[in-house]
């Protein structure tokens, strides 16, 4: 059994050997976890982020661990920025096998200070989570179409599934975010149909509840919106959410999301497209 397990570990370590991958929003949180897992599985990774220093830090961390990565400053809300990132990635890597569209926001600046959404929240979430997704795909997919090969993995959210109602503890400021993630899932379905003739697979990973800087902001918003949570720390809000709403009773990690992305990016998923996979401990089942 030991020999079998060792062989499986070696196989996973080389699961993405020879693959060139781009990950947006990879400077922190889920994006960093994805980049680290993919690099650990053998992929060369272009670490893209609006924050150039964060991207560089993650790239250096990967390289120090024996992987191969480089940083790209990029703004998904700008098509010209993403076109430049694509050109830089192609110059450095030669080609791109996998595009992981991860960059996302919860709301506009200051959303944690208000219980209700503003027009700016709709603008921010759709500029990044929807239009930013389209800009990313439009920048990187043409080279995949030329090669008639590639994988696109979109990071959506189980928040883009059916609404869970007031009991989920979501203030209305979360509605624009949830709607934007539902749009990302629908975009995945349409894109899978459009790119299938080019042998390009498109799938979504829908994360559940992870302790990241983004979720900390969600918790701050919940405390502000719900008088019953007065005095609770963001982490206490997070732990209570896990306990009450996740059947497996534990939080997910960026690495958990990265492992699912690695599967979709690998040859093991060659016959899977147009799917949205919940990685959420059973909190949402559909």
Query: CATH number for the domain including 205?
Result: 3.40.50.720
Give 152's strand partners. Answer: 99, 202
Which structural domain range is residue 260 located in?
18-277
For residue 65, give the H/E element and its range.
none
In a domain, 176, yes or no: yes
**What is the 8-class DSSP label of residue 273?**
-
Determine the pLDDT at residue 10: 59
Q: What is the pLDDT along the chain (286 residues), one digit of tens a residue?
A: 344 335 545 557 789 999 999 999 999 999 999 999 999 999 999 999 999 999 999 999 999 999 999 999 999 999 999 999 999 999 999 999 999 999 999 999 988 777 789 999 999 999 999 999 999 999 999 999 999 999 999 999 999 997 765 444 445 878 999 999 999 999 999 999 999 999 999 999 999 999 988 788 878 888 887 888 889 999 999 999 899 989 999 999 999 999 999 999 999 999 999 999 999 999 989 8
DSSP for 85-123, please give it. HHHHHHHHHSS-SEEEE----SSSTTGGG-SS--HHHHH
3-state secondary structure of 234: helix
Integer-rounded Cα Rg, in Å, for the chain is 19
pTM for the model stands at: 0.91
Catalytic residues: 177
Determine the pLDDT at residue 165: 54
In sequence order, which ranges of the chain are alpha helices (DSSP H)? 2-13, 29-40, 52-64, 79-93, 119-125, 132-147, 175-195, 213-225, 234-245, 254-265
In a domain, 286, yes or no: no
Determine the pLDDT at residue 219: 86
> Using an 8 Å Cβ cutoff, are 99 and 151 in contact?
yes
Cα-to-chain-centroid distance, residue 114? 25
In a domain, 283, yes or no: no
Count of the separate structural domains present in the chain? 1
Determine the pLDDT at residue 223: 86
Task: For tokens 């008088």, name the residue.
Answer: 227
In a domain, 42, yes or no: yes
In a domain, 12, yes or no: no
In a domain, 284, yes or no: no
Query: Which two structure tokens, joined as six digits, stand for 46?
Result: 């272009």
In a domain, 192, yes or no: yes
**What is the 8-class DSSP label of residue 230?**
T
Q: Which residues contact 66 (CB under 8 A, 6 or more apart)?
A: none
In a domain, 11, yes or no: no
Determine the pLDDT at residue 151: 98
């Amino acid at each position: 059994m030991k020999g079998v397990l060792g062989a499986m570990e070696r196989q996973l370590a080389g699961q993405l050997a020879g693959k060139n991958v781009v990950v947006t929003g990879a400077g922190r949180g889920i994006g960093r976890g994805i980049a680290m897992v993919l690099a650990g599985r053998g992929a060369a990774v272009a670490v893209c982020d609006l924050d150039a220093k964060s991207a560089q830090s993650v790239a250096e961390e990967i390289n120090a661990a024996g992987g191969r990565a480089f940083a790209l400053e990029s703004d998904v809300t700008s098509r010209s920025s993403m076109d430049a990132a694509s050109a830089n990635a192609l110059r450095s890597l030669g080609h791109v096998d996998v595009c992981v569209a991860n960059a996302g926001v919860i709301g506009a600046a200051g959303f944690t200070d208000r219980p209700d959404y503003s027009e700016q929240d709709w603008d921010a979430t759709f500029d990044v989570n929807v239009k930013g997704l389209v800009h990313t795909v439009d920048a990187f997919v043409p080279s995949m179409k030329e090669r008639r090969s590639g994988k696109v993995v979109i990071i959506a959210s189980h928040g883009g599934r059916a609404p869970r109602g007031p009991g989920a503890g979501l203030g209305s400021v979360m509605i624009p975010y949830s709607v934007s993630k539902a749009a990302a899932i629908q975009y995945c379905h349409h894109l899978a149909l459009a790119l299938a003739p080019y042998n390009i697979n498109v799938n979504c990973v829908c994360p559940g509840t992870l302790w990241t800087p983004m979720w900390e902001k969600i918790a701050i918003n919940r405390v502000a919106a719900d008088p019953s949570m007065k005095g609770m720390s963001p982490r206490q809000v997070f732990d209570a959410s896990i306990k009450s709403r996740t059947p497996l009773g534990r939080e997910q990690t960026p690495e958990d999301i990265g492992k699912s992305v690695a599967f979709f990016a690998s040859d093991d998923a060659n016959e899977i497209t147009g799917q949205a996979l919940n990685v959420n401990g059973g909190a949402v089942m559909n």
